[in-house]
Amino acid sequence: MTSATSPRGLEWFSRRELAKLPALLRVAPGDPAHQVTGKRILQGLLLLLLAGGAAGLLAFFRGHHVLGTTHEIPWGVLIAGYVFFVVSSTGLCLVSCLGHIFGIEILEPIAKRSVFLALVMMLSGFALIGLELERPLLLMWMAVASPNLSSPIWWMGMLYGVYLLALAGELYLLLARKEPWARRVCQLKSIVAVAANTNLGFVFGSLHGRPFWFGGATPVYFIATAFVSGTALMMLMVYLTDRFSGEGTVRPPNEVLLRFLGKLLGLFLGILLLFTVWRALAGLASGGEHLFQVVRSLLVGPLFVSFWLFEGLLVLGLPLVVVLSGWRTRTGALVFAAAVTTLGMFLVRYNFVYAGQMLSLRPLTGPMGEIFDYSPPFKGTVAGILPYTPSWVEIAIVLGAVSFTILAYVVGNKVLTLGEEAEG
């Protein structure tokens, strides 16, 4: 396919565009300062991607001996990363669809970028869960050959698979300038996205042996966090794309867009704040010893710093102060709020995944408060808090996935002409 025969906007196979790609990483003498900084960052990200790729190969071929997970804590930071990527992708898709579905015109110019970033984030998420699975290749065959329709994980795979296809289809239609069809796909995709996201919540919410995860509120919590991380990511995407291209400053229409997204972020953070407060209080009020101990560990126990610093300060505290104060009109402050929210949301996922497994399911105390001394079934197990520390391989894989997401977005933005100027 050449640019002469392809639909408008699909000139991305041209050799001219592809030949420009090495320049993304090469610092030229005439580059302005912001582009030099951008290229240095991309070079660093490329190194991280290579390190993550090597770690991924190690995990794939050496098995899970190189991961920090144990028999008692089988889901670690790779699952937290997977949840972060796919839930953020859903949030990005849903916020971007607000433009199409509810006619919020200010969001429409960034539809292509949002869809592309959502697609890349899904690929990163799938890569993480693929490396977390013991036998990822067998999954592709067994999910079809031996499906268990009562398993939320099976539905998770199917729904996110359909969602990924819908994202790819919508991106194609947007690039091919078939807006009416793209709008229909967007509506369908929104329904699938909500189903996939809440079903992912149900993967955790259906485990009645894990009181911290169990319950119908967990899927709703997932969709609330999707809107938070999706909005924050969209703000970062808009800002960084402008910052490291063209003039190196945010263009006036995007400043208006950032302020609008800041208001949305405030709304979603408010909902999440209520959720977090009432969830914690419900845990403290619960009759169950297990749930009480987990919530206490988060509030005043071993996860104290993690909970209050990341969930309290980074996700809820600082961003809410920005969007509810006079700083909400300042682009820099809004971007700061979006950045700390995004970083904090990753750590919220980590807290969520670890906290659900951190307590041994063995009884801790009896009805009269007596202490049970339980012989451990597995090496390293103690009644009480189970340790988990991510290995360097796991950390490198997650950082590699983050690098892949950013680099793929930068390349896609370059060769797919995702910019809003191409819309006109």
Q: Based on CB atoms, which residue is closest to another protein, 332 or 363?
A: 363
* Binding of residue 61 to another protein (CB under 8 A): no
Strand partners, 294: none
The least CB distance from residue 340 to another protein, in Å, is 31
* Cα distance between residue 3 and residue 6, in whole Å: 5
In the complex with another protein, which residue's Cβ is closer, 13 or 141? 141
Question: Is 24 strand, coil or helix?
Answer: helix
User: Is the Cβ of residue 16 or residue 379 nearer to another protein in the bound state?
Assistant: 379
**Which residues between 66 and 85 bind another protein (CB under 8 A)?**
71-72, 74-75
**Cβ nearer to another protein, comparing 189 with 210:** 210
Q: Near another protein by CB under 8 A, which window of 13-21, 95-103, 139-147, 292-300?
A: 139-147
Q: Does 372 bind another protein (CB under 8 A)?
A: yes
Which residues in 330-353 are b (16+ Cβ under 10 Å) and which e?
Answer: bbebbbebbbbbbebbbbbbbbbb
For residue 180, give Cα distances in angstroms to 13, 173, 213. Answer: 25, 9, 40
Name which of residues 328 to 367 contact another protein (CB under 8 A): 356-357, 360-362, 366
CB 90, CB 363: distance < 8 Å: no
**What letter represents residue 251's amino acid?**
R
User: Considering the complex, what minimum distance in angstroms separates the CB of residue 207 from another protein?
Assistant: 5
Residue with tokens 């194609």: 172
Instruction: Using CB under 8 A, pick the residue from 7, 63, 253, 387 that binds another protein.
Output: 63
Using the rule CB under 8 A, is 287 a contact of another protein?
A: no
User: CB–CB of 401/229 below 8 Å?
Assistant: no
Q: Which of 153, 168, 188, 271 binds another protein (CB under 8 A)?
A: 153
If we measure between CA atoms, which residue out of 355, 384, 78 comes closest to residue 210? 355
Residue among 19 and 368 whose Cβ is closer to another protein: 368
- Binding positions for another protein, 168-227, rule CB under 8 A: 203, 206-210
Q: How far is the CB of 370 from another protein (least distance, A)?
A: 5
Residue 152 binds another protein, judged by CB under 8 A: yes
Do 386 and 358 meet the contact criterion of CB atoms below 8 Å apart?
yes
User: Which residues within the stretch 224-253 sit at the binding site for another protein (CB under 8 A)?
Assistant: none
User: What are all long-range contacts of 291-299, with beta carbons under 8 Å and residues at least 24 apart?
Assistant: 291/211, 291/212, 293/359, 293/364, 294/211, 294/212, 294/355, 294/356, 294/358, 294/359, 295/212, 297/355, 297/358, 297/359, 297/385, 298/351, 298/355
| Residues binding another protein: number (CB under 8 A) | 48
Q: From CA 77, how far away is CA 69, in angstroms rounded?
A: 9
Smallest gap from Cβ 392 to another protein, in A, equals 20
**Shortest distance (Å) from residue 373 CB to another protein:** 5
Of all helices (H) and strands (E), which one includes residue 364? none
Helix, strand or coil, per DSSP, at residue 385: strand
- Written as six digits, the tokens of 143 are 């999910």
Least Å distance, CB 58 to another protein, is: 15
Asked whether position 157 contacts another protein by CB under 8 A, the answer is yes
Query: Any contact of residue 371 with another protein (CB under 8 A)?
Result: yes
138: contact with another protein by CB under 8 A: yes
Q: Which of 28, 305, 375, 424 binds another protein (CB under 8 A)?
A: 375
What's the rounded Cα separation, in Å, for the pair 131 and 159? 20
Among 84, 116, 126, 154, binds another protein (CB under 8 A): 154
Binding residues for another protein (CB under 8 A): 63-65, 71-72, 74-75, 133-136, 138-139, 142-143, 146-148, 150-154, 157, 203, 206-210, 356-357, 360-362, 366, 368, 370-380
